[in-house]
Amino acid sequence: MHHAPSAPPSGPIETRHGACNLCEAICGLTFQVQDQRIISVKGNEADPLSRGHICPKAVALKDLHEDPDRLRQPMRRVGDQWQAISWDQAFELVVDGLARVREQHGANAVAVYQGNPSIHNWGNVTHGHLFFNQLKTRSRFSATSVDQLPHHLAAYWLYGHQFALPIPDVDRTQFMLVLGANPLASNGSLMTAPDIRARFKALRERGGKLVVLDPRQTETAAIADEHLRIDPGSDAAWLLSVIYTLFDEDLVQPGHWAPLLDSQEELRQAVSAYSPEATADHTGIDAATTRRLTRDLAQAASGMVYGRMGVSTQEHGALCQWAIQVINLLTGNVDREGGALLTSPAINLIQMGLMGKGHHNVWRSRVRGAPEFGGELPVSVMAEEMLTPGKGQIKALVTSCGNPVLSTPNGQQLDQALQGLDFMVAIDFYLNETTRHADVILPPTCFVEHDHYDLVFLHLAVRNVARYNEAIVEAAPGALHDWQIYSELAQRYARRVWSLDKGRALQRVKGMASRAIMARLSPQRLLKIGLKRAKSSITMDQLLAHPEGIDLGPLKPSLVASLSKRKRRVNLLPTLIRQELPLVQATFLSASMSKAEGPPLKLIGRRDVRSNNSWMHNTTRLVSGKNRCVLWMHPQDASARQLQDGQAVQIQSRVGQITVPVHVTDQIRTGVVSLPHGWGHNRPGVNLRVAQAHAGASINDLTDDRATDRLSGNAAFSAVPVEVRAA
């Protein structure tokens, strides 16, 4: 550890403001620091967005900073031993390893996987592309395709931009219908809404209504007006029935959207088979309820349907997210107060043209033919692209901020695939299930050691705010931030590849020069430049004077105006959806499998407030207490299998099996079982001592890399068929 806590602390106690970057809620925090040691972490009441909210994970930022297992020097693997090396050596090894694979096997043989914190740590956003774009590889993967990819596809289809994501106006809405999201545990997603409990309470106090459709009685369902235990994987059918009912009961009222919508009549015909009566057996939601909720939504002063992970990561994820937008459009709720609106952050990367509008299916993966989206392939195909010989086979990998062995489907297969690579580098500060396969690990500083302006989640917040925070404590001498690692990699890689490719020298010199300048500017400098370029009303000085954040007010309508200005219309029935509907008809109009005799159980996920995807398990504060990596099962299903609460059970799927304890509870739909993701720290070679002592097992050793959403390629984590028996 770089600080030597031998002498008792004696310096003054300083108060510093920061934001938590662990989840999308980005809560404002107040730290007390003495002699460069964090002595307390509290929610900041003055923060205009989070208003003092905090969850147990924020306090663990201190543990992360102090964690003796966190890597603080570059590491090189020699056999199964790790050696600390200098940064200079490490960069040379990495550049050399990647360039060699590219020379021998072509650019697509070098793959990239960017994990979730890539968007939570702004240095990755400002500088990652300088390096990754130079690899010129089509083998790009990220956590997007185990998460929100269907949202981007729907936005791309309907609004012409993958990041045109309407955010629920939860603070003003009168009706909110939540499918497949549990914001009380996740703290909101594609809806930065810290202290969502208070926000939901306020919604109900002003006479609004909250309805949850989830196979499990979640923390969110427990405080809702109504909870319906929908059968997992059937949401698309239910949403089509809502669209059907809007037409059938004459409830279509697009309001300000009316002049912009195309294909309304075609849409009506396309959903004509999906009456609530026809889909009820499949979804488990009776027709009268579907009709009543549709009426409630359509007649509410304002409202919206909001669907997240549970409906994105299923076989019909894209269909679900398209249908949700269509319902919100047909009820006039997109881009209106109390509905779902685009945000207007101080730095608007979309408006500044810094985020591409996207493209889909321009190329396909080599082995399976899965479509790219926005230049990335679905991560469900990554292992097969490594394991299948032939031209274009992936031979090298760069991972950054990710742990795909635990977080992507069929983790065991990926584990094997990583073993066979010629070269791998991980930009990460832990030696975990994925990075243990690397040849070199480049560890950046951790969150409290660098400054932060949230370039991503301020675009997704339920209220417009701006907030910049300086580092809470000093980084150790010689430590590098993520952006500095990328800056170095970008420059060294350019030099190396350039020296081998003299034919295109001139063009490259120009590219290199601008990249080199850009690479040396810190994220803070870029923010300052960005604020000026965006003609923002906010200056860097104001941000520095207000570390608690600056309130920019509630969400404002903008989408209809901007589409009208560009003369862009909205086609309610994109071609791929038009083609998809007849293909799913047979499934959606039949009774759900769970009602048939002796079907497999359907496995779904579960998030817990004290867990954060596959990491933050190396802090005693978050893993102590009851084991949370347990399988939830309904008493009827347990007694049918003669299983007792607490007993070890073996879960078997097409791809693998794991053993965990069972928790028998009626808080889950019959025929459905639930297990959290991100556990399974018992693989050899991992160095996470606390996490290893609370290892659990990985749900992604059960989830299936072949089970994807046909349209988007997103992983289908919901409704994985499994058998469960006593271990």
Within residues 40-79, the interface with ligand SF4 by CB under 6 A covers 54-55, 57-58
182 interacts with ligand MGD by CB under 6 A: yes
Residue of 17, 18, 26, 418 that binds ligand SF4 (CB under 6 A): 26
d(CA 179, CA 324): 10
Which CB sits closer to Mo ion, 147 or 548?
A: 147
What is the x/- site pattern for ligand MGD, positions 110-149, by CB under 6 A? -----xxx---x---------------------x--xx--
Residue span 298-327 as binding mask against ligand MGD, x where in contact by CB under 6 A, dash where not: ----------xxxx--x-------------
CA–CA dist 276, 589 (Å, integer): 10
Segment contacting ligand SF4 by CB under 6 A, of 20-28, 78-86, 318-326, 565-573: 20-28
Comparing C-alpha atoms, which of 472, 467, 474, 473 is closest to residue 453?
467
Looking only at residues 152 through 191 of this chain, which bind ligand SF4 when binding is defined by CB under 6 A?
187
Chain residues 470-499 in contact with ligand MGD, contact rule CB under 6 A:
482
Is residue 469 within the footprint of ligand MGD (CB under 6 A)? no
Question: Cα torsion at 273, 279, 281, 283 (round to 10°)?
Answer: 160
Which among 87, 144, 708, 683 is positioned nearest to 419, based on CA atoms? 683
SS3 113: strand
Binding map of ligand SF4 across residues 488-527, x = CB under 6 A, - = no contact: ----------------------------------------
Q: What length is written for the chain?
A: 727
Contact flag: residue 428 with ligand MGD (CB under 6 A): yes
* Identity of the residue, 284 or 676, whose beta carbon is nearer to ligand SF4 in the bound complex: 676
Using the structure block, give the residue that is written with the tokens 């300052």. Answer: 528
* Near ligand MGD by CB under 6 A: residue from 130, 633, 699, 707: 699
- Backbone φ, ψ for residue 703 (5° rounding): -65, 155
From the list 141-149, 537-545, 560-568, 636-644, the region that binds Mo ion by CB under 5 A is 141-149
Indicate whether 432 belongs to the interface with ligand MGD (CB under 6 A).
yes
Quick one: 661 exposed, middle or buried, by C-beta within 10 A (0-12, 13-18, 19+)? middle
User: In the window 600-639, what residues touch Mo ion (CB under 5 A)?
Assistant: none
Q: How far apart are CA 353 and CA 359, in angstroms?
A: 15
User: By the 8 A CB rule, do 458 and 349 touch?
Assistant: no
In the complex with ligand MGD, the residue whose CB is nearer, 348 or 403, is: 403
Output 21 or 536, the one with its CB closest to ligand MGD: 21
Indicate the residue among 31 and 615 with the shorter CB distance to ligand MGD: 615
Residue 553 has, within 13 A of its CA and on its CB side, a CA count of 6
Contact, 651 vs 631, CB < 8 A? yes
Residue-wise burial string across 26-65, b where 16 or more C-beta atoms lie within 10 A, e elsewhere: bbbbbbebebeebeebebbeebbbbbbbbbebbbbbbbbb
**Comparison of 304 and 531: residue with beta carbon closer to ligand MGD:** 304
Closer residue to ligand MGD in complex, CB, 184/570 = 184
Q: Reduced to 3 DSSP states, what percent helix, strand and coil does the chain have, rounded to the nearest 5?
A: 40, 20, 45
- Smallest CA-to-CA distance from 331 within 123, 173, 533 is with 173
Q: Which of 24, 63, 147, 705 binds Mo ion (CB under 5 A)?
A: 147
Residue 257 Cβ vs ligand MGD, minimum distance, rounded to whole Å: 26
Whichever of 22 and 643 has its CB closer to ligand SF4, that residue is: 22
**Burial of 518 (C-beta count, 10 Å sphere; 0-12/13-18/19+):** middle
Burial of 320 per CB tally in 10 Å (0-12, 13-18, 19+): buried
637, 600 Cβ separation under 8 angstroms = no
Q: How far is the CB of 297 from ligand MGD (least distance, A)?
A: 16
Spatial separation of the C-alpha atoms in residues 604 and 232, rounded to whole Å: 8
Binding-residue pattern over the window 575 to 604 for ligand MGD, x denoting contact by CB under 6 A: -----------------------------x
Position among 108, 137, 145, 186 found at the interface with ligand MGD (CB under 6 A): 186
Out of 167, 660, 718, 724, the residue judged to bind ligand MGD by CB under 6 A: 718
* Least CB distance to ligand SF4 at residue 627 (A): 21
Could you tell me if 213 and 228 are in contact, meaning their C-beta atoms sit under 8 angstroms apart?
yes
Judged by the rule CB under 6 A, the positions of this chain that interact with ligand SF4 are 20, 22-23, 25-27, 54-55, 57-58, 187, 194
Judged by the rule CB under 5 A, the positions of this chain that interact with Mo ion are 147
Judged by the rule CB under 6 A, the positions of this chain that interact with ligand MGD are 23-24, 115-117, 121, 143, 146-147, 179-183, 185-187, 189, 213-216, 218, 230, 232-233, 235, 308-311, 314, 400-404, 407, 427-430, 432, 444, 482, 604-605, 607-609, 611-615, 677-678, 699-700, 703, 717-719
